[in-house]
Amino acid sequence: MEMIKLYNGVEIPAIGFGTWQLTERIEEVTGTALKVGYKHIDTAAVYGNEREIGNAIKASGIDRSSLFITSKVWNSDRGYDNTLKAFEASLERLQTEYLDLYLIHWPANAKRENAPQENADTWRALEELYAAGKVRAIGLSNFLKHHVAAILEVASVKPMVNQLEIHPGYLQTETVEYCRENEMVVEAWSPIGSGRLLQDETLVALAVKYGVSVATLCIQFLLQQGLVVLPKSTNPKNIESNLHFDRFVIADEDVNAIKNMAISGFSGLNPDEIGF
Ligand code: A2P
């Protein structure tokens, strides 16, 4: 499994199992992912599946130290004290002593009063958890360039990660480049546009050319851009094939064709527009 190194030396498996909207058969599906070899699981308090994921990890018998587990503090728990409490609650549900990565799930945006202070206080809690050794890395999620910049102004520990909606048709290039300039690794949620890209004409034609599925094409494209990729599925066949496929190289001209696609598969969740 490809690993990507964070600036503090921690290594993160380049493909992780996404669990947003995994609300049924959680233990079974997570168990399948662990069985086929996922070492990296991405969850969040608000997904409501941490306890069952913790159960599945316990039941798998896999050594905790060989897994990479990410969770996120939800919007209603922002602020220094609340974030510290929310973190402990996630640990309890996941039945683990530490997390590998803890993220602020969404930025408090300009629609909220005191947004910069809220984000700064939440970040200070993550710094505290990192200093205490309760989490191996800390970062952001859904932070656009200007939200990241505001955190960098107040941070003692710079974020190591930003997790964004990224897929063909929605590459968020400006934010990704800014994160990289600041040594952050970028993770892609909804790498196949939550399934909305499966019929996309450009992608279907390229998938035929390379003899792969559209899902595989999307995942390979994102890996090739140096991103951590978080596909999600409840189908055992898809769970397995999203991790285990023969790696190939998408030629430059085809990479450019994907980069030049019109906006496609976007969730509509713009962090500046939704009332987070
Ligand atoms: P399913 O659970 O039936 O596999 P994303 O990771 O971009 O959020 O996309 C998730 C969606 O894409 C789910 O609806 C999932 O359905 C579908 N999906 C995931 N992997 C594959 C795959 N390899 N082939 C086809 N559809 C997939």
What are the DSSP calls for the chain, one per residue? Answer: --EEE-TTS-EEESB-EE-TT--SSHHHHHHHHHHHT--EEE--GGGT-HHHHHHHHHHHT--GGG-EEEEEE-GGG-SHHHHHHHHHHHHHHHT-S-BSEEEESS---TTSTTHHHHHHHHHHHHHHHHHTTSBS-EEEES--HHHHHHHHHH-SS--SEEEEE-BTTB--HHHHHHHHHTT-EEEEESTTGGGTTTT-HHHHHHHHHHTS-HHHHHHHHHHHTT-EEE---SSHHHHHHHHSS------HHHHHHHHTPPS-S--S--TTTS--
> For residue 137, is pLDDT > 90?
yes
Backbone angles phi, psi at 185, to 5 degrees: -85, 140
> For residue 276, is pLDDT > 90?
no
> For residue 1, is pLDDT > 90?
no
pLDDT of residue 268: 96
Domain assignment present for 265:
no
> Domain range for residue 168?
3-259
> For residue 125, is pLDDT > 90?
yes
Domain assignment present for 205:
yes
pLDDT of residue 139: 98
Average pLDDT, stretch 134-139? 98
Listed residue (8, 9, 14) closest to 186, CA to CA: 14
Domain assignment present for 83:
yes
pLDDT in tens, 184-206: 999 999 999 999 999 999 999 99
Is any ligand 1 atom within 6 A of the Cβ of residue 19? no
pLDDT of residue 275: 85
Domain assignment present for 21:
yes
Domain assignment present for 200:
yes
Average pLDDT, stretch 11-30? 98
pLDDT of residue 234: 97
pLDDT of residue 46: 98
pLDDT in tens, 208-244: 999 999 999 999 999 999 999 999 999 999 999 999 9
Q: Provide the CATH number for the domain around residue 178.
A: 3.20.20.100
Average pLDDT, stretch 87-99? 98
Is any ligand 1 atom within 6 A of the Cβ of residue 234? yes
Termini Cα distance of the chain: 35
| Ligand 1 pocket mutation pick from 233, 242, 243, 245 by most atoms within 8 angstroms of CB | 233
Domain assignment present for 275:
no
How high is the ipTM of this complex?
0.99
The proportion of the chain whose per-residue pLDDT surpasses 70, expressed as a percent, equals 100
The proportion of the chain whose per-residue pLDDT surpasses 90, expressed as a percent, equals 99
Residue partners of 29: CB distance under 8 A and separation at least 6: 22, 234, 239
Say if residue 147 carries a ligand binding annotation: no
Is any ligand 1 atom within 6 A of the Cβ of residue 114? no
- The number of domains in the chain is 1
Domain assignment present for 39:
yes
pLDDT of residue 248: 98
Domain assignment present for 48:
yes
Average pLDDT, stretch 167-174? 98
